[in-house]
Chains A and B, each alone.
Chain A
Amino acid sequence: MSDPLTVALVTWLLAAVDGSAAVALQGGLAGVGEVVFGALLWLLDQWYWLMDWVYYVTGVEMLNPRYRYMHRAVLVGLCVGVMAPLIGTFLVHRQLALIGDALAHTAFAGVAVGLFLNAVIDLGVSPYLTAVVVAMIAALFIELISETTDAYNDVSMAIVLSTGFALGTTLISLNAGGLAVGVNQFLFGNLSTVSPQSAAILIVLFAVIVGTVAVTRNELLYVTFDETAAEVSGIPVNWYNRVMVMLTAMVVVGAMQIMGVILVAAMLVVPVAGATQVSRSFTESLVVSVVLAELAVLLGIGVAYYGGVTAGGVIVLVAVGIYICAVGIGKLQSARGEAETPEMGTIETDGVEVDAGTGGD
Chain B
Amino acid sequence: MSENIIDPATAADTSAASDAEASGPIVDLSGVTFGYTATPVIEDVSLTVDSGEYVAIVGPNGSGKSTLMRLMLGLLGPDAGTARLFGADADRFGDGERVGYVAQQATAAEEMPITVREVVKMGRFPYVAVGNLPAEGSGVDDLFEDPIGTTRRTANAVSGRLTDADWAIVDDALTTVGMSAFADRRIGQLSGGQRQRVFIARALAGEADLLVLDEPTVGVDAESVDAFYDLLDALNDAGITVILIEHDLGAVVEHADRVVCLNREVYFDGPADEFVESDALARAFGTGARFLAGGAE
Contacts and interface: CB of A to CB of B under 8 A. Distances in A.
A234 B96 contact: yes
A222 interface: yes
Contacts, number: 185
Contacts of A348: 175-176, 178
A226 B106 contact: yes
Given A4-B131, A226-B108, A347-B176, A359 B159 contact: no
B118 A281 contact: yes
A308 interface: no
12 contacts: A215-B130, A224-B108, A229-B101, A233-B126, A280-B186, A282-B112, A343-B181, A347-B176, A353-B207, A354-B239, A360-B23, A361-B51
A276 B111 contact: yes
Interface residues of B, number: 72
Contacts of A182: none
A257 interface: no
Nearest to B95: A234
Give the 7 A-B residue pairs with the shortest CB-CB distance, closest first: A234-B96, A345-B178, A342-B181, A357-B51, A349-B234, A359-B22, A356-B209
B113 A5 contact: no
Nearest to A231: B75
A306 B5 CA distance: 69
Nearest to B117: A281
Nearest to B191: A344
A221 interface: yes
Interface in A88-110: 93-95
A214 B160 CA distance: 9
A228 B75 contact: yes
Contact of A360 (B50, B101, B122, B128): B50
Interface residues of A, number: 56
A354 B181 contact: no
B114 interface: yes
B119 A218 contact: no
Contact of B158 (A215, A235, A361): A215
B276 interface: no
Interface of A: 1-2, 4-5, 8, 93-95, 214-219, 221-222, 224-235, 275-276, 279-285, 342-349, 351-361
Given A232-B101, A355-B209, A356-B51, A349 B73 contact: no
* B interface majority secondary structure: mixed
B129 A218 contact: yes
A352 B231 CA distance: 12
B94 interface: yes
Contacts of B178: 344-348
Interface in B148-195: 158-160, 172, 175-182, 184-186, 194
Nearest to B209: A356
Contact of A233 (B96, B175, B176, B180): B96
A85 to B, nearest CB: 13
Contacts of A222: 122, 125
A215 B186 CA distance: 25
A49 to B, nearest CB: 29
B176 to A, nearest CB: 6
Contacts of A95: 108
A222 B234 CA distance: 27
B238 interface: yes
Interface in B70-117: 73, 75, 93-97, 99, 101-103, 106-109, 111-115, 117
Interface in B223-242: 227, 230-231, 234-235, 237-241
